[in-house]
Amino acid sequence: MFRRILIANRGEIALRIIRACKELGVEIVCVYSQADADAPYLDLADRAICIGPGPARESYLDISRIISAAEVAEVDAIHPGYGFLAENAEFAAICKDCKIEFIGPSPQAMGILGDKVQAKRTAKQAKVPIFPGSDGEVEEEDEAVEIAAKIGYPVIIKASAGGGGRGMRVCHNEVTLRTALEAARQEAQAAFGNGAVFIEKFLESARHIEVQVLGDKHGHAVHLFERDCSMQRRHQKIIEESPAPGVDRKKIDTICIAATRLIKAANYAGAATVEFLMDDRQNFYMLEVNTRVQVEHPVTEMVTGTDILKLSIQIAAGEPLPFKQRDIIHRGHAIECRINAEDANRNFMPCPGRIDTWIAPGGPGVRVDSHIAPGYTVPPYYDSMIGKLIVHADDRQAAIVRAKRALEEFRIGPIKTTINLHQKLMDDPAFVKGGVDIHYLERLLDA
């Protein structure tokens, strides 16, 4: 096991990694920006190093400052969490050059699965279902038009290096496709430093279902079942749950096994998520692979009794997976509600600022992952998520009851949060029935 780990992240995920390190008996080095100097979790670290001003570009995204801190503190590994540098292959490679273990996949595996075109190619070989579309990058307008004619409109143009829902364009006919292609390429080049784009069939209505997978450095891989993350706004997930309600179990099992095959094919070590869209006939198509731990990993931890963060560290340290596929049992139902510092009545405007009151719920089957304490000021520079409520119960209905009970216990003030929205959703007939599609929340909010 590592002796000392640097956490190249902030907020709730920094605290989550601290908790895993403590239980593994590993020393912790936190880096923080000036805007996070008062973050309560820094007290739990063995050492905290300021790496620059609030804006992420000058701190959490600044590779040289993070590597300098790692060298000064003599750490043997870096955990990137999610966001920031977690999916940056250059950062992973620099860590390697500096003889610091990057807790995540090798730069090669990240290159194969983190790039959408390459991931699709590998998926096709591993017999993972993908959207019909271009076989790799499209360069010529005529080529794009030909493919679109074959698969049928609407189609979507996506950047191979894309992320965060950016750089995608839906085209309903040849005219829009021709004009959008060059624009998409330029946009991708400017945003991601890689102008490669591809096209695939666009599904008007779908559910987002993803599979949690783990691979080790000894060629073993397992899946930890699925999560349904269809409750989204502007491609941002709001609620995640497991199992996916109302989906044929056989179909899901097939997809889970396919996802495991994919990470094996990529020689992938670490935690990853294979994301799929599912159409209304329960056909699955792979969207992309996230080569890191995800925000919603606790949902899976609750239903499988695993600790994905600890496992990510153990795998990086070279330990084999401690279980086989048949040892992993899915139990009950878990739901996660993301608590964001946003005003749902004002178009989800972020509401940074001081939190005077913070009382989090507890009791059976309730977990709150948050770095907040009374007196904490939410800085304006970062994501507005301030915590996650995760509930677990025997079945979905009981989990919803539990979520409502826990949401009611929350006392947060004076800033606005998404708790009210979650309370409404837990009473929403379509959500309670289960199986809403990825545009449901936006339709509900527009109504």
Taking CB under 6 A as the criterion, the residue among 43, 97, 99, 164 binding ligand ADP is 164
Q: How far is the CB of 304 from ligand ADP (least distance, A)?
A: 24
Q: Is 147 in the site for ligand ADP (CB under 6 A)?
A: no
List the one residue from 62, 200, 336, 369 that touches ligand ADP (CB under 6 A). Answer: 200
The residue of the chain with the least Cβ separation from ligand ADP equals: 203
Q: Please, which residue, 135 or 356, has the CB nearer to ligand ADP?
A: 135
Give the one residue of 235, 346, 411, 424 binding ligand ADP; rule: CB under 6 A. 235
Tell whether residue 287 is a contact of ligand ADP (CB under 6 A).
yes
Please tell me the distance from the alpha carbon of residue 370 to that of residue 1, in angstroms, as a whole number: 27
Residue 210 touches ligand ADP, criterion: CB under 6 A: no
Provide the token pair at 73: 């503190």
CB contact at 8 A, 64 and 57: no
The one segment of 165-173, 244-252, 256-264, 390-398 that binds ligand ADP by CB under 6 A:
165-173
Q: Which position among 79, 207, 208, 392 is part of the footprint of ligand ADP (CB under 6 A)?
A: 208
User: How many residues touch ligand ADP (CB under 6 A)?
Assistant: 20
Considering the rule CB under 6 A, would residue 233 count as an interface residue with ligand ADP? no
Among 177, 203, 231, 391, interactor with ligand ADP by CB under 6 A: 203
Contacting residue, 91, 102, 198, 202, with ligand ADP by CB under 6 A: 202
User: Considering only residues 419-438, where is the footprint of ligand ADP by CB under 6 A?
Assistant: 438
By C-beta, is 235 or 411 nearer to ligand ADP? 235
Six token digits for residue 175: 């005219």
Asked whether position 292 contacts ligand ADP by CB under 6 A, the answer is no
User: Which single residue is written with the structure tokens 């075109």?
Assistant: 117
Determine the interface stretch with ligand ADP among 85-93, 143-151, 162-170, 209-217 (rule: CB under 6 A).
162-170
Query: Would you say 284 or 410 has its CB closer to ligand ADP?
Result: 284
* Catalytic status, residue 292: yes
- Of 18 and 203, which CB lies nearer to ligand ADP in the complex structure? 203
Give the Cα separation of 171 and 173 in Å (integer).
Answer: 6
Binding part of the chain for ligand ADP, among 43-51, 82-90, 161-169, 314-322 by CB under 6 A, reads 161-169
Under the binding rule (CB under 6 A), the answer on residue 162 touching ligand ADP is: yes
User: According to the binding rule CB under 6 A, does residue 156 interact with ligand ADP?
Assistant: yes
Minimum CB distance to ligand ADP smaller for 234 or for 250: 234
The reply on whether position 288 binds ligand ADP by CB under 6 A is yes
Question: Nearest distance from residue 271's CB to ligand ADP, in Å?
Answer: 17
The tokens for 172 are: 């309903």
Is the Cβ of residue 208 or residue 396 nearer to ligand ADP in the bound state? 208
Map residues 259-278 to x or -, x wherever contact with ligand ADP holds by CB under 6 A.
----------------x-x-
Could you give the CA distance from residue 116 to residue 219 in angstroms, rounded to a whole number?
A: 23
Query: Within a 10 A sphere around the Cβ of 34, how many other Cβ atoms?
Result: 15
Query: Which residue in 40, 165, 320, 363 binds ligand ADP (CB under 6 A)?
Result: 165
Which one from 10, 292, 367, 402 is the annotated catalytic residue? 292
Question: Strand 4-7 vs strand 27-32: parallel, antiparallel, or unpaired?
Answer: parallel
Residues forming the site for ligand ADP (CB under 6 A) = 131, 156, 162-166, 168, 200-203, 206, 208, 235, 275, 277, 287-288, 438
* Catalytic residue IDs: 292
